[in-house]
Structure 1
Amino acid sequence: MSASDRSGSLTPLARVGFSRLGDAEQLLDELTELTGIPRQEVLDSAATAADPDEALHAVTKLARRDDQAVQRAHRHAGAWRAMWALLGASTGFGDFFSRHPAELDELVHAGVRLPTEDELRTSMLDAVGAVDGFAAEGGESAWVSLRVRYRRLLARIAAYDLLSPSPVDEIAAVSARLADAAGAALEASLAVARTRVSGGAAGAGLFPREQVAQTGLAVIGMGKTGARELNYVSDVDVIFVAGGSEQAMADYGESRIVDIATRLAVQTMRGISGVEIEPPLWEVDANLRPEGKQGALVRTVDSHVAYYERWAKSWEFQALLKARPIAGDPALAAQYIAAVQPKVWTSAARENFVDSVQRMRERVTEHIPASDIPYQLKLGPGGIRDIEFTVQLLQLVHGLSDDRIRQRGTLHALDALVAEGYIGRTEASAFSRDYRVLRLLEHRVQLRHLRRTHLMPGRQDDLRVLARASGLADTGQGVWDLWESVKREVRDIHVRLFYRPLLSAVAALPADERVLSTEQAHDRLAAIGFADPAGALRHIAALTSGLSRKATIQRHLMPVMIRWFADGVDPDYGLLAFRRLSERLGDTHWFLRMLRDSSGAAESLSRVLSGSRYVGELMEWIPESAAWLDDPELLRPRSGLALQEEARAIQTRHAGLVDAMRAVRALRRREQLRLALAAILGAVTIEEVAEALTTITEVTIQATLRAVRRDVVPPEDESLDFSVIAMGRFGGAELGFGSDADVMYVYRANGVDPQRAHELALKLVAGLRTHSEDHRVPLELDADLRPEGRNGPLARSLDAYAEYYRRWALSWEAQALLRARGVAGSVKLIRDFMELADQVRYPEKIDPTAVREIKRIKARVESERLPQGVDPSRHLKLGPGSLSDVEWLVQLLQLQHAHEVPAMRTTSTLDALQAAVDAGLVPSNAADRLAAAWRLASRLRSANTLLSGQTSDVLPVDRNRLDGIGRLLEYPPRSATRVEEDYLGATRRARRVFEKLFYG
């Protein structure tokens, strides 16, 4: 045959999936010659195998040994299909049938349905001739028969699995049958062990048959075996329990019974995993028993219980979650399960239980060899263990009080957790799908050589076989890409659910607070801090009543959130605000899911609602803001540019003044709320708060001015320039929550009749003041710092300002200009006004008379402007050592030195103070004391507003309010005295510095 003819004859082989084309050509010829089966029929069958090369090699090898067995399989369509599927997916089954070719005959039962649990047990016991718990004989041949029969049954299960049109959907059923087959094998091995131990085999250690018969041994399946989620080749985790009737205990003694049971356990394990003529099935692992490898192999029920009560660690209870009788004495097994199960479902209440489970999962990952991590299906990040540990932790924590989620199997547990509202449908659906995919991949890599492995293959040829065997992808790269995608999704869900603070909080709840429907609820609520427990119970009932999924989730959340509210400043208000927020959001799917599943949203929401009426009232009007608590980035203040763009877009959408301003007010409220949340949760500094509040106010005034101007100024007067100048703390970009916005208004006629220009300017001022009003979050535009104060005109032309400052300006008016800064309106007019202001506020030399006047005015402010009856030391703005002391001192220094020290030409109090330090005008330690008092007073002022929702400049004397303010400033609970002492101490130190530098 020519090379071209040979190449042409091999092309069909490559097309159906052969890679070793020359070998395949020879094997096809040989198999046809040995069996008489047509070549094309063999080729068509090989094409259905996951690995056509291995399948053809294995079938030919079988035919060499027993061609009649292959021919008999060929005569039965189902057996023929099953043989190619098995041998194409598993070299391990190729070896098995090569050792026992007659077992091919049993494939006539394969591929149609899975054997039942009873069929598996009956067949395994029949293999060893078991009668009344004893095998027909106890020699090694019994073990050979047992292992051959097990692999025959395993082949039936694998054939059904491989021939399924959707094997990923059969994972639960296949895994359950694998666990049942393991239990049946252990039952048969125990029967052989009884015969051996009672004298059926020399050297086994003889006990009278009667004593052996009366000795109970229960085999408890653990791990995947107990959960009926077993793999093809896994260790089978077990615990052995010894027992006997009262009469047997009396006749032989407990020690004798345990000795016999121990010998039975040893022989049972050996029958499965000892090295004999027929290879072992799998490892029987008893290391989950009390004390592990160091502990007794077999114990009585009482001995087990005593250990779990005194010594067991958290992971041992987690392991017991899946405990299930799989072989041996059923009554003894039931006794054991009944004794240990209650301990499983109370284990999560142990101290640091959640943390210990989380650390254990991390240790598992840490011990994986680095080279294996990218391939680990089971233990690596995004692998099977991530799903199992997440589900088990959710079960153990919430199973404390809910027996409906106490399931052994992962998939059944997921269904229960979804049904009861502990996990979202989306996450559960993804976990369930991903779990099945991972388990299918694990099954197929184990089938390949019938060896225990949890590693994805690295070679492309092996990946191609895996893709074909699993049906999950068309190519090797496709199955690898799927694996990577599943890993990412699993890891993401695992991290969100496994580390959710709600778990630790639920586990830490006292037993009598896990359910709120008990008759003692009223007293418990009062005991943990609710002033109106009856009202709290009404709110709880409103939130949790009914059969809806929303009510179900609320019932799970309430016990923990109640505890979080109780830890806050005002639990009663926090719960009321939460109820209002929940009612506003209705059945919005994301809200409760976020509280349940996020990394801390529920606790953060409890904290802000119980700590701030300002926030609670705003969140009721902006309920969607709750979503910000799930993303730290959403709590960051938005940039001025972003806010300006949104404000301009609002005015593009709304032609009418009223509608436009309603939207602008909504924008301001939203951003004030965002900042308040960030401030309470410690996500921003006091400097960032001041800057962001200033930016929000600027954008609001700019948008209001544009809208009002569009409504007030006709086209023929469009040349009129008008600007808003920020003054005071607004000008210094130092606003706090509740601060007024000090402003001045300036205009320039630019050809408009002067009287007309003045009238339009006043209309603009009126419009600004009217349309910026907001009863929810007040914004007062205070123009009292204008020339002549309240007696002066609200708006002046630039020329009028220049004339006034040239002829009449008083020292306090020059002082007020130190924080003047243009914020809205004509940019050119602002620039010209600031040039004028610089001439007034940064004089070459200040008149000593003006300095004396400033000092005199400061003294008058201290004595006359303090509200009647207020303790001056508690006034945050005007009290000794408070805001005004620091600001007046800095402003005096600016008037005296800013002309020579350019760095002092700033509207920022602290920046100007630092510039004075750098210029040698203020000692560094003195400046530190001034800055500390200024910052603390600013923070206390804002916290006072956030706590009560009302603006106040006075440090409260009420201890609860003081404690609440302290909590907002991140003091520990019950720190009212400390807050007070810190403030009074800081202001005393600042006052001493002030008096020395200001009056000295």
Structure 2
Amino acid sequence: MSVETSSLPDPLAEQALAAWENILDRADPVQADKLRVAAAVRPVSEQLARALSCSAFIAELSKRKPGLLLEVLSGDFIQQSLDEADFHAQLVAALASENQDLGSCLRGFRQRHMLRIVWRDFCRLADTRETVRDTSLLAEACITEALSCTQAELEQRFGVPIGKDSGEPQELIVLAMGKLGARELNVSSDIDLIFAYPEAGYTNSEKRPISNEEFFIKVGQGVINALDQVTPEGFVFRVDMRLRPYGESGALVHNFTALEEYYQDQGRDWERYALIKANPVTGDPSVAQRLMQSLRPFIYRRYVDFGVIDSLRGMKQMITAEVRRRGLQDNVKLGHGGIREVEFIAQCFQLIRGGRDLGLQQRELLLVLEECVSLGCLPREVVDELRAAYLFLRDSEHAIQGYQDKQTQELPGDALRQLAMATVMGFASWEHYRAALQQHRDNVAGHFSELIAPPEEENCASVDEDGLDLWGEDMSSAALATLGYSDADVTLQRLQHLRSSNRVTALQVEGRERLEQFMPLLVRACSESVNPDLALHRVLPLVIAVLRRSAYLVLLMENPPALAELVSLCCASPWIAEQMSRNPVLLDEFLDRSSLYNAPDKEELREQLSQQVARLATDDLEAQMDALRYFKASQVLRVAASEIAGRLPVMKVSDNLTWIAEVILEQVLAVSWADLARKHGEPKRQSDGSGFAVFGYGKLGGIELGYGSDLDLVFIHEGVRGSTDGERSIDNSVFYMRLGQRMIHILETRMALGQLYEVDMRLRPDGNSGSLVPGVDGFSNYQQKSAWTWEHQALVRARFAAGDPAVAARVAQVRKDILCKPREHAELARDVVKMRRRMSEHLLSEGDNTLFHLKQGSGGIVDIEFMVQFAVLAWAHSHPELARWSDNVRILEVLGKEGLFSSDEAQDLTQAYLDYRGAAHQLALQQEPTEVSTAQFNDQRSRVQGRWQALFGEIEEQAAKA
């Protein structure tokens, strides 16, 4: 029986039949009969015809080795997917059972699996990802066994290589680069490798010891010969070692220290690009991981690195020039809209943001594209188009290469091969295939151009579009005045001072060129602001801060809207300008205007922080602390930008700043708990939670945080006696004390992005002399028996911020009981007035009578707070609703509803309070003291003072007489 060709075009059907006859002619009679039987089974018959007609490689290999074809057609070898472990297990079994040398066994193994891989791909039994995975696993298995056999043989001659420092046996780590590293190898690819070993030292042979370097050079050469050497049986994989340090002129192998030093001292951008996909495929995983950890700082910058766009642009320009020179326009990899452009798009984001967004530190391209959607780098529809194009282009690449098992990405020129390729790709004709191909390539090229292609008006000189010299030697105040700078002479001096400064003159060529491109853009961008001189004055410190990290300048040059937003916000607020110069990494936030002016709610904040820390190891405390600091800085920047833009009223500003703090406290508690639990186990406790609660007092408790507020905190644990359940067990109380200490450490430690918050723990029972983390009972006893009136005043603003809700509920009940205690009003009023007078004397210095201190001044914020606290302590016994809230606004609302204050009085105090806080926020953004002219809030002050007099006037008169 012949093969089934009815589904094939006539020219391919003829080719399939001719190939089948050739195979039967070369087979012995027994093989021929068995082949006919195997080919008669559906769906093998149709698949065989398709494979023989569309792949000359399969046809030729089957003709030379009909026994191999019979073997793979028998059973389910071709019809089913293989598990990852199958490749290595089958090769080990083949090496153990077959009486042939390593090279012959590897080549036979490769032929068997490549026949299977191309067959499954061309017959669409496997999707693109399975094809590249199987080809990669085949290569990994061959590398692993070639290394194992080669090293074992050399150890017989020279001994085992031993590390000089560790005294441990050494093994070669093979770094798979490029597509192999990502397990995306195409069906006829070479493999890019780098060889490394952990330590210098010598082999332990008594007769013929050699250095580890010499030993592993021999190992590497043996591996290359086993894989790359062309014999009558062909080759296994072509091996390319040119990506190693110093390329072809460099040593074949390097120890870990030498590799790390090379990349840190001499590594170039294209090597960062290459190492993105580096993957150790041999050796002890922990040792290999140590190598990758040492290389990661070189690959992924800790800051947002837009400078990489220039490098990728340069690489692409070189490839484009090569495409033109060699006429490779029909190359599906290197040509217009080809595979390389999709790779560049994904890897561009990896290099730009991978140091901070760890989800981008993946090797597989499609996973990286999905992460770009999650991070907001690319829209979903763009990634969908790129994904579809990439899979189509990779399938096209396999259809080209699988035809003759040749490493080429050129579209075929002759009609028969074109028809074969169109058939494999599922098209009725070559014209239909080319139309689909063109659509995918146009999509890729369009997205690539938007991201990486040079800006249409890239200014490479100090002279701007109007012929004005805004940075060169001839820049003048007249040019600045032309742009609208009102104090042009002073601004010119600032620019000249920067240009002649040591910081600028010491720049390397690349940094100076970037500065020369950037400064005219900045000067013109500032000229568009309401106050050009002030805007430029405030942005220049940021420029100085990033001179040696000029990738930030590239970010702004690549994104003119981001530069405009930066100038606008810095002009509006010196606080923002200072934050940016201190933390240039925040420039990344300016890339998405909708995000910059959108302050998320608490649940969104919690989700965003969870995503940022999800991929961090819980035991990597430094990485956790870095992530928390960036999270806080970026979210506070969003709040400030939203307030300046008029999108957040004062209550919402404080709400958002408070939510940020609470979400951070939750994560700090989680990290601290995990750290201590690893060392000591978990404490015995009654609740399902941690048995530990964090309470916010003051502004945090009152939901009134400002931009520079510290955190007044009290830690409380549930007070269960016992010990932790780990091997290094400690008493519960010690565990909770250390938990509190660890939280304070994480919050207060100064790092590159500053500290999270200053923490004040003085409001806990007995203040600084008391236990850092009292139990609930101890807290209750203190509040009932020992606390002063001012401590009960502070308790009014206490609120659960993070931790165990069960503990929080017990403490909330204690708080309610204390606040609702009956009190003698006159005595309470005397205590409150006495504390207010003491605070005024201590914190309000004598100064200009024309100025009103918003917080401490008479009729100011603290007067309102003290009246509210007095009201709660005086009347919560009969009006328990007063004890429900911790923020002044809602307590004032209750006072009005309960008739304790008139509705007008409650409204007046509320409005005054909001007005004061709004002014304080604005002054903070202007970095001004919280003082205003006494005339500015005269009406509000009078109303507050009037209510204060009504409550405490008699007490103050008695105190004055005394």
Q: What range is the shorter-chain TM-score in?
A: 0.3 to 0.5
The structure in which a higher percent of residues are helix is: 1
Question: What TM-score does the superposition give when structure 1 sets the normalisation length?
Answer: 0.45
Question: What TM-score does the superposition give when structure 2 sets the normalisation length?
Answer: 0.47
* Higher gyration radius (CA): 1
